[in-house]
Structure formats: C-alpha cells, structure tokens
Amino acid sequence: MMQLPLRYILTVSELTREIKDILENQFPDVWVEGEISNLRVPPSGHIYFTLKDDFSQIRAVLFKMQARTLRFIPEDGLHAICKGRVGLYEKRGDYQLILESIEPKGIGALQLAFLQLKERLEKEGLFDPARKKTIPMAPQKIGIVTSPTGAVIQDMLHILERRFENLQILIYPVRVQGEGASSEIAEAMNYFNQMREVEVIIIARGGGSLEDLWAFNEEGVARSIYRSKIPIISAVGHETDYTIADLVADLRAPTPSAAAELVIRDKREMKNSLHYLSGRLENETLQILQGYRTHLSYLVNIFKEPGKKIEEYYLRVDDLVNRLRLLSSWVLKGRGEKFLHLRQSLLHRNPIHRVNTLRNFIIETKRSLGQNAKYSIEIQRQRVRGLIGKLDSLSPLSILQRGYSITRKLPSLQILRDASHVRKGDNVEVKLFVGTLICDVKKRGELDDHRIKNIE
C-alpha cells in the first residue's frame, strides 16, 4: 500500500482501487464453505449466488467458461465448498468471490449430478416400465456398442458363439470412458436405428469407478436410448453398478457376459424345446384328426341310405302333425269352457242391475229426505212462533202500549226510577207508545216513608 501524506484526500475510485489491490493480493486463492442461496443464471450463462453461513454472507460468481465444467447443477440450499479468489467490483464497491470450481459437501459432484439427472428424467417418464420394448426371443442380427479392445467384447463373442453359432453380430466401436465417449455411444445407437440392420442392441462396458462409468450417465446417451425403436440391453459395469443407461434401457443385464446369455437362448436348448413342442403338436394334430375321422364315420353311417332316413323324417312329421292337432283341439276346448265361465260371471255382474238398485235407493232416499225436511221446518216454525210470543210479552213497546211510559233525564238520558234523582227546573224526556215529550220539572212530589223504605 502506498504511503499517504497527512491530510491527503482520496477520491472514491482511488480508495476503492487500493482496497481491491489489498483484497486480491491477500486472497488470491481461497477455499470457502457455505450454503448457496439466491442463485440466478442470466442469459449470459454466468452463475450468480450468495454463499452464507449462520453469521455472514458473501456474493459469488462462476463465469460461463468455468460453469461448463460442472457435472451437477447448483441449486439453492446446497452446502458447497467453493474455490476461487476474492475480488472487488469497483462500480458498486462490493467485494465478491470469483470462483473456479464448486464441489458439494458430503457427496461427490458426480454422485450429485447422477441423482439430479435421475430425478429429472424420471419425472419426464424415461424410466416408465410401460414404454419398455420386448426383447426378441431369437434375434438373428445383434448390434453391440462397446470398446473393440479388451476382454468384454471377447467374452461376449465367445458366449454368443457357444450358445448359438452363425449369428450375425455388428460391432460399433466406441470409447467407453473419457471425453467424447458419451457422444460416440449416442451416435452408435442413432446409426443402428437409421440403418435398421439389427433386431436388438447391447451397450456393454466392464466395471469401474463412477468416473469411469460416467459416459453412461450422460443425458445425451439416456435420450438416445429412449428414442431408439430397437430394443436395447444395458450391460454396464458389475452387478452392483447402476447407471442412467440401465434405468432407461429396455432390459438391464448385471454384466456384459450376462447380456450375451440373456439376448439369445442356447441353441441346444432351443432345439430340445422345438423337438418337444413338435412332438406335442404332432400328438395334438393326430388327436384332432382322429376326432374328425370318428365324426366322419358317424356321418357316413347316417347318410348311407338317405331314402330310409327321409322316410323316417316323413313318419316323424306326420306324428308331430297329429300331436299338434290333438293339442290344438284340447287347447281350444279349454279356452271355450273358460270363455263360457267368464260370460256367466259377466252376466251375474251386469252393471245394469246395480244401476237400477242404486236408482231405487236414490228415489227412496230423496222421498224420505223431503218428508224429514218438511217435518223439521214445521217444528222450527212452531218454535219460532213461541219465541216471538215471548219476545212480544217482554218487549217494552207492549208495556208502553198499555199506558206506561219511560222517563229519562236530559241530557244524560239516564232512566229515572226515583223522583229524588231530579230537581226543580231539570229537563226530562218522556217516551210514550207513540211519540216523545220533553218536559220541565215544576215540582217534585214527596214520597211517604213506607214507599221510601220499600225503595231502599
């Protein structure tokens, strides 16, 4: 760092440049462990994310050229170990990690790439058992995709020759590991599908580490197997080794030698099976022919003298006609008797008789109701007359007709029963049988003690 005099004023750019020099010189090559978050990949292909732990975080970038070398896809939440250098972006004054590589912690990069690709292809349906094709029972032309050198191809050819000689075998030589191996394997399967010269394809390789077998875990190989119209047997590695090619292929063989045994049955076994099936077919054919021969003999006996058979049919027809006549006569007789019985029942149940009976009942009921009504009306009339007589005798009008009157005090119209209820000068109304009188009280007569006592 340059020595600055007292009170030397730096510009922002100068200070930032000094800090950048210090950081880049102090941390030219560092390994940093943390959790990936806020990951984004813009159209440029660079990978930007934040590397963090429980207390701090730092921005990081992996440029496109370095990102191409990754076997797996970085994602949020992945705990990773990153190698790079510390840099400072001067325009924003932010320091960041400029990375060269990323490794997942706790699991190898290849293993993580395998799991990620396996999950993605499984979601797309590349492992679906329903789409897998059946391996031909006895293929005459077999295609093998493998390395032309080594023990694998020799063992397979030896087994195939021993089990079924004179097979047509087409070998497409490829590299089975290293850079460019996956593209050669995919190209081999595309070639066989275009030429259509084989009935089944075997992809074979001996055992090895995950890195050695990685060509068979590439997405390009998986999709070429998926697109193949020819059935494919995958025989990669040992029995415990599993690759993406094994999962997509129509059949997985634990080893290349096992694939050679699975693709074609032993010729001697097939001959024995064919001999056995031929014997069974011959026996079944003889039994069927014997059955037909027996049936034919039966038909010959039947039609040996057709004239007699026709006469028998004539007699049988006449017998059936006679039986039909008797049966028809018996049925018609029974139906006639049933008809007569129903006719008698209808006559007994003729509705005219019931209608006449109901008509007489209605007439009699009408006459009886008329008499009862007249009697009831007369009784009610006499009762009303009696009530009218009682009402007349109790009516105040009849009392007034005999010379009595009703006196009421004005203006309250209170009926007067006692002379003490009015005073001299009060107005009273006198109701007569005919008409009304309005009178002034001039004098009130005195009542004797005896009448007052009776009144009280």
Closest to 139 in 3D by CA, of 81, 188, 80, 198: 198
> What CA–CA distance (Å, rounded) separates 40 from 36?
11
> In terms of domains, do 101 and 144 share one?
no
Cβ neighbour number for residue 51 with a 10 Å cutoff: 22
Stated as kind and residue range, the H or E segment containing 439 is strand 436-440
How far apart, in Å, are the Cα atoms of 140 and each of 170, 175, 298? Answer: 11, 26, 49
Within-domain flag for 423: yes
> In terms of domains, do 97 and 149 share one?
no
CATH of the domain at 236: 3.40.50.10550
Token pair 């057709």 is at which residue?
306
> In terms of domains, do 41 and 153 share one?
no
- Peptide bond connecting 411 to the previous residue in cis, omega within 30 degrees of 0: yes
How many CA atoms, within 13 angstroms, populate the side-chain half-sphere of residue 148? 6
Within-domain flag for 364: no
Q: Is 173 exposed, middle or buried (0-12, 13-18, 19+ CB in 10 A)?
A: middle
> In terms of domains, do 212 and 170 share one?
yes
Q: In b/e form, how buried is each residue of 340-371, taking b as 16+ CB within 10 angstroms?
A: eeeeeeeeeeeeeeeeeeeeeeeeeeeeeeee
> In terms of domains, do 244 and 148 share one?
yes
Q: Which of 218, 233, 264 is the last residue of a domain?
A: 264
The total number of structural domains that make up the chain: 3
The whole domain housing 408 covers 401-455
Cβ proximity of 37 and 50 under 8 Å: yes
Token pair 């009542």 is at which residue?
447
> In terms of domains, do 149 and 223 share one?
yes
Sheet holding 414-415, edge to edge: 414-415, 406-409, 427-431, 436-440
> In terms of domains, do 161 and 100 share one?
no
Cβ proximity of 225 and 189 under 8 Å: yes
> In terms of domains, do 142 and 60 share one?
no
How far apart, in Å, are the Cα atoms of 246 and each of 109, 131, 304? Answer: 20, 14, 71
Q: Which of 264, 285, 308 is the last residue of a domain?
A: 264
Q: Which of 264, 281, 314 is the last residue of a domain?
A: 264
> In terms of domains, do 95 and 187 share one?
no
> What CA–CA distance (Å, rounded) separates 414 from 429?
10
Size of the chain in residues: 456
Within-domain flag for 209: yes
CATH of the domain at 102: 2.40.50.140
One digit per residue, pLDDT tens: the chain, 456 residues?
556 556 677 888 888 888 888 887 888 888 888 888 888 999 888 999 988 888 888 899 999 888 887 877 788 878 888 888 888 888 888 888 888 888 887 666 667 777 788 888 888 888 888 888 988 888 889 999 998 887 888 888 888 888 887 788 899 999 888 888 889 999 999 999 998 889 999 999 887 777 778 888 888 889 999 999 999 999 888 877 788 888 989 999 888 888 888 888 777 777 777 888 888 898 899 899 988 888 888 777 766 666 667 777 778 888 888 888 888 888 888 888 888 888 877 777 777 777 788 888 898 888 888 888 888 888 888 888 888 878 777 777 777 777 778 888 888 888 877 877 888 888 888 888 788 888 888 887 765 444 544 444
Within-domain flag for 359: no
> What CA–CA distance (Å, rounded) separates 71 from 75?
13
Within-domain flag for 38: yes
Within-domain flag for 341: no
Within-domain flag for 394: no
Within-domain flag for 129: no
